Every structure is written in structure tokens, then in C-alpha cells.
Amino acid sequence: MALFGGSRDISLFNTVSKELINDIIQSEVGYYKFALERTTSNVYGESVGKMYYEPVRIACLMQREDQTWSSDDFGSDVDQTFSFRFLKQELRDINLIPEVGDILLFRNNFYEVDSKIENQLIMGKDPDYAISTGANDFGNSHSIIIKSHLSRVEKLNLIPLRGGKYPSTNKITDGTANLLG
């Protein structure tokens, strides 16, 4: 049995992290969850227009890379990679499971999720994958890091927002895309 990293320690760590991200840093994104069951596809499994649920506003930490510009016969194009860092417990609280293909909105730019990294463990343990029963109450999987790239609005079939205002946020619960599985 471990001396540190019990449920009280994890609760303190989560409370301080949540207060820091939500009350002090206050960086929020709009998260559009891909709605697979509402998207129609052709015989090849391709979709002309992807469907997304209404966005959910969620606080996170962000790390952005510099923009890169390229030009070809069609003109100039810009690309940017972005990392969004979410508290795993906050995603659980709103029943949101990040997946490749989801869309994030930040500063009127849309970012498509490329990958999900979930390896920040407190005390090096994750009770969801504990082998012994004595380790169920120790450690925690703390955060989820999402790597994304700048996506074109035209490709997403979304109406761009004006004035830098985030959309109203209503959690959609009438589909299986937002349920924990």
C-alpha cells in the first residue's frame, strides 16, 4: 500500500488544478464533438459534409506553435499546430471523450484533432488499469493533451463567428457520441 497519492491527495491536486485553470488562467475553447451517427456517407465510407454537435465551452491550457506559410499555384496557405491540455476529470464531468476528427474553436480559428495523449499520471499509477486491488485508491490519470492543426472553415461546413465571441454552449445529450463507453 502506497503512503502518498491516496484519494485525499488526488482530490487536493485536482482542486488546485481546476481552480488554476478555471479561475486564474481562464482560457476557454469551444469543443465541437463529431456526430458519427448523424453524418451520412457514400458507398466508399466518405462523407461530403460532417455533422457536429453544438459546441461545449471548456477551460484548458494551450500551447501554440508559430504559423507556417506556404505558397503554390493556387496562392498562399497558412498552417499552425496547437496543443490543448484538458483536465481529465472535467471532461468526465461533462461526458466528453476527445477523438480524432473533433473540432476546437479558439480565437475564431477552427482546429481539427489529430491525436490524443493521455499519459500524465499522478504517482505513476492509474487506478483504471490497476492490476492489484490494493492500488485502486492510489494515483490518477490527470490530463488529456490534444494535438491539432488549423483547419479551413469551408471544409467544416460551419458558419464562422464574427467579433471574437464564443457560441452559446448547450450540452447535447441526445446521441451516443457524448456518452462514456
Residue with cell 456517407: 41
Q: Which helix (H) or strand (E) holds 16?
A: helix 7-19
The candidate with the shortest Cα–Cα distance to 58, out of 88, 91, 80, 81, is 91
Write out pLDDT tens, residues 55-85: 889 999 999 888 888 888 877 878 889 999 9
Q: What pTM, to 2 d.p., does this model score? A: 0.73
Write out pLDDT tens, residues 106-152: 988 899 999 999 887 766 666 666 676 766 666 677 789 999 999 87
Q: How far apart are CA 55 and CA 32, in angstroms?
A: 5
Answer whether 84's CB lies under 8 Å from 144's CB. no
Q: How far apart are CA 178 and CA 157, in angstroms?
A: 21
